[in-house]
Amino acid sequence: MVEQVEFQVEFQVVVLAGGKGSRMTELTAGRAKCLLPIGQFPMLYYPLQLLRRSGFKEAIVIVSESIKNDVLITMDKIDIGIKMDLVGIPGGEDLGTADVLRLIHEKLYTDFVVVSCDLLTDINLSGMLDSYRTHSASITALLLQVPTLPDKFVTPGPKSKQKPETDLIGVDNETDRLVFLASASDFEESINISKKLYRKHTDFNIHSKLLDAHLYIIRKWILDYLVFDKSISTIKGELLPYIVKKQLSPPSNPKEMDKNTSIVALDTKKDIFQFAVDKPLDNLIRSMSAFNDHSTDLNVAYNGDSIRCYAYTESKSFGLRANNAQMYSLANSVIFGKSSLIGIPANQMPVEFPSAVVKCTQLEKCLIGDNAVIHEKTSLKFSNIGANSIIEPKTRLSNCVVMDNVTIKEGCVISNCILCNGSIIQEGSELKDCIVGSHHTVPAGSRNSHEVLTDIDNLMEI
């Protein structure tokens, strides 16, 4: 009789896909953010493919309970190549990312990877995982170069001078320790750096052109701490800055506590260092090794820190987060040249579903969805046409995202627009740089530029 050996998973994966897209309500009023189309696939497809390319076989995907059935139906039609444990959370769209981890903590029994559903990147995670293993990190965060907008790129919708949110990210030049994290909006003219940081990390840069990809590898003890400390609601805004700062603090000494304190009272006084305990074998190996991650002093490796945060910076890989209308539009614009993301070489486009009816002969780098109907005498360039959409004769489209069940009547000229689910563009309309909301009808002969065309009630949520 052969003894069966139980396989121990080194890392679990959590994909956070329950957000309601509050920065892009003009697009998410009629469809969940994680199901918005990018190229021929829903947004959720891309982080799952990132995980598959990096060797993962399964992932826990967190969605709001209200959209769980829609996600199941949509993803069942796609060969994602990875087992998906879909978890619906009631009211999940109103919870912070750390709150979500706290709710599913019983599913997580080892170190884990957390990734947002809006991340598109062609990186392979093996290097980041190896860095995490090498340093036995508490958290390792993926940092990418902030995407550069093409010179002629225009975001559909109203012209806006609003500046994008900028992170200030401090990384030790010698050790790659993540030593500082804040939003640029928190400071007016100068940045205050603590003396403790200067003493401990004498050579670090603060970057403003790095993108926090919202992909983290997290030690299991941090989840245990989150379950204990329920005041932390988000990973990026609260947990990560807190952990980064705690690297600079000396561990508490339990022996210094009052000996007369009851066990119950003692438990309520736990701090994070009571959770951040290295494995005895790791400590033994480190003490017997000549390895040191810094050369500025004679302190032991890692300065004896039990909390260690690292940045894994990838400058050569493509990456963006489609978390607002501008980045969503950019994702659809560049996807045609990213065969590593969609698995379709540019020279093999256009791509048509077998069920699509395409009578047009003027197609250039387009993706045509299931049961779409493209009539004769039409011209389509660099556009994504969703399922069950109809484009009538004498219509020209360029650089457009046409979602599902959209009808474009005869004689329309549409350029650089996003047409949301179920919208109808009546005859002879000309639209440029516009967003048409879900199930909105644009009257015949309309002339619109740089507008959001929708029912105002759909944009009330902030």
222-232 pLDDT, tens digit per residue, is 999 999 999 99
Q: What is the pLDDT of residues 407-439, one digit of tens each?
A: 999 999 999 999 999 999 999 999 999 999 999
Give the confidence band of 292 by pLDDT, cuts at 50, 70, 90. low
Q: What residue has token string 């970057």? A: 207
Q: Please give the CATH superfamily to which domain 12-327 belongs.
A: Spore Coat Polysaccharide Biosynthesis Protein SpsA; Chain A (3.90.550.10)
**CATH code that applies to domain 349-459:** 2.160.10.10
| Span 346-359, pLDDT tens digits | 555 557 778 889 99
Decide the pairing of beta strands 112-116 and 139-145: unpaired
Across the chain, mean pLDDT equals 85
CA-wise closest residue to 144 among 213, 47, 207, 205: 213
Does 337 or 387 have the greater pLDDT score?
A: 387
Q: Tell me the two tokens of residue 169.
A: 């990210």
Using left for φ > 0, alpha for ψ between -120 and 50, and beta otherwise, residue 428 falls in left
Neighbouring C-beta atoms of residue 160, cutoff 10 Å: 10
Confidence class for position 294, pLDDT limits 50, 70, 90: low
Residue 179 has pLDDT above 80, yes or no: yes
- How many other CB atoms are found less than 10 A from the CB of residue 140? 25
Backbone dihedral angles phi then psi of residue 459, each to the nearest 5 degrees: -110, 10
In DSSP terms, 357 is beta-bridged to 373
Q: Is the pLDDT of residue 12 over 70?
A: yes
Rounded to whole angstroms, how far apart are CA atoms 171 and 312? Answer: 10
Residues of the chain within CATH 2.160.10.10 domain(s) are 349-459
Quick one: pLDDT band at residue 7, thresholds 50, 70, 90?
A: very low
- Is it the case that residue 280 has pLDDT exceeding 50? yes
User: Quick check: pTM over 0.85?
Assistant: yes
Least confident of 148-162, 249-263, 394-408: 249-263
Provide the percentage of residues in the chain whose pLDDT is more than 90.
Answer: 57
DSSP-H helix ranges across 136-279: 195-200, 220-228, 240-246, 263-268
Asked if 23 and 327 count as a contact pair (C-beta separation under 8 A), the reply is no
Residue 213 has pLDDT above 50, yes or no: yes
- pLDDT for 444 equals 97
Angle, CA 413 vertex, CA 409 and CA 416 arms, to 5°: 115
Which residues have a Cβ under 8 Å from the Cβ of 308 and sit 6 or more positions away? 135, 136, 137, 138, 177, 247, 302
User: What pLDDT is recorded for position 284?
Assistant: 56
Contacts for 406-410: CB closer than 8 Å, 24+ residues apart: 409/444
Of the candidate ranges 83-92, 249-258, 408-417, 427-436, the one whose mean pLDDT is the lowest: 249-258
Question: In this predicted structure, what is the pLDDT of residue 95?
Answer: 86
| Spatial CB neighbours of 40, under 8 Å, sequence gap ≥ 6 | 342, 344, 351, 367, 369, 384
Across residues 21-29, what is the average pLDDT?
86
- Determine the 3-state secondary structure of 77 from DSSP: coil
333 pLDDT more than 60: yes
Look at the chain and count its residues.
462
Q: Where do the CATH 3.90.550.10 domains begin and end in the chain?
A: 12-327
Q: Give 17's Cβ-side CA count (13 Å radius).
A: 35
Q: What pLDDT does residue 261 have?
A: 45
Tokens 């489209």, residue located: 397
DSSP line for 315-362: SSS-EEE--SHHHHHHHHHHGGG-HHHHS--GGG--EE-TT-EE--SE
